[in-house]
Homo-oligomer: A and B are copies of this chain.
Amino acid sequence: MSGEAGAATEAGRGGDDGIPEIGVGVVGTGFMCQAHVNAFRTLPYMAYPPPARPRLRGVASRSLAGAQAAADRYGFERAHADWREMLADPSIQLVDNCGPNNIHAEVSIAALEAGKHVLCEKPMGRNAAESRQMRDAARRAAGKHMVAFNYRFVPAVRKARLLLEQGALGEIYHFRARYCQDWLADPEFPRAWRLQQALSGSGVLGDLGSHIVDLARFLVGEPTVVNARLKTFVSERPLPENPTERGPVDVDDAFVALVEFDNGAIGTLEATRFAVGHRNANMFEINGSKGSLRFNLERLNELEVHLCPDPSNPQPGFRSELVTEPGDPFIEWWWPVGHIIGWEHTFVHEIHHLLDAIVNDYDVAPYGATFEDGWRCDVILEAITRSAADGGSPIEIEYAP
């Protein structure tokens, strides 16, 4: 881009200000790419001064035209039809893997081996074995690695984590998480690619279940055993290309699971695309000896809090707190108290954390999810699948070293 053609100068850049620049290459051009790009572009002036200034060096897609369209729209300097080509660009330090699930492993491992930092969308691998290869590659590599479990970066969720760390809830007894969507409730909804295992890998378990499994680990601790049921409610659906014919659905529509944690808490996990009335309700509730917390992604600025510092004098009810207070996580970057933020802000927080970890050389854990976390999540999802295959019999969670 030349000055003549130019428009806005790069935001967050005051010339020679000592803030390092980090070259970024994104794989994929879809909806997640858009959310990540928005974070890269806005954090330098919102979270000011930024730990680093991301520079959108390249974007890769299967088609050059697609990559070029994304470059035009989002301001990448170069478009690539081959992610390998992009990885070869030495100006790129961070590879952001927003591609389809089936290239998560290959791209991420190659990027790590090329000495890049890697951010990978969830679910990390297509199965635990693949995720383990990614985890192992991350162990061997010098780069930072992060799996994009962005709900860890909702201010209310981080606040919940901090309250738990401080012991504000006391001994934890119960965890319940369910992620309810509704777009498959109509039996006449067509058999989209997400409903064919060959294309999608899995159904709701990987898509929504991975989020709540990660939150369970983030908030409560390690599960030790699960019992689960998977269900496909509608086994045949109209073909998109020919609605008079029907094709089989071979992925899970919903799952329910029981879980026991290493700290003695018990819980239920559930995800479904068949819960009409809910569009994107990622909900959890935690009960401890001194307090309870409730959250719903559809009201992500709120945390429902019951704190009872003196358990012998219990109080009724929850307080619905807007998590936009001075001092609430990430809020200093945004607006005055009571002015809410949206879903995409989670990526600003997440990517800021990653850039900060890169620049200041610390592990993205425990607040960010590493490839170790991504793999552990997949171990649990696999245990759920195995339990369901055996009628819900208990499967112990074991993390191979």
Contact = CB atoms under 8 A, between A and B. Distances in A.
Interface of A: 1-3, 5-15, 17, 21, 31, 34-35, 37-38, 40-42, 45-46, 48, 53-56, 68-69, 71-77, 171, 173-174, 176, 178, 180-183, 185-189, 225, 227-229, 231, 233, 253-254, 256-258, 260, 264, 266-268, 270, 272, 274-281, 287-292, 297-302, 306, 308, 311-312, 314-322, 324-325, 334-345, 391-394
A71 to B, nearest CB: 8
A228 to B, nearest CB: 7
A392 B298 contact: no
Contacts of A186: 289, 311-312, 314
State the oligomeric state as a number of copies. 4
B6 A338 contact: no
A226 to B, nearest CB: 9
A46 B73 CA distance: 9
Given A9-B56, A48-B73, A274 B341 contact: no
A343 B344 contact: no
B319 A41 contact: no
Contact of A35 (B10, B321, B335): B335
Contacts of A266: 229, 231, 254, 256
Contacts of A15: 5, 72
Contact of A233 (B21, B264, B291, B314): B264
Contact of A279 (B5, B34, B324): B324
B338 A298 contact: yes
Nearest to A264: B233
Chain A binding site: helix, strand, loop or mixed by DSSP? loop
Given A1-B13, A188-B311, A336 B31 contact: yes
Given A31-B335, A73-B45, A187-B171, A10 B6 contact: yes
A55 to B, nearest CB: 4
A174 B204 CA distance: 15
Point out which of A48, A257, A274, A279 has the most chain B C-beta atoms below 10 A from its C-beta.
A279
Contact of A274 (B74, B77, B287, B325): B287
Contacts of A53: 7
A169 to B, nearest CB: 9
Contact of A320 (B187, B228, B275, B317): B317
A302 B281 CA distance: 14
Given A10-B1, A275-B292, A325 B316 contact: yes
Contact of A42 (B21, B38, B277, B298): B38
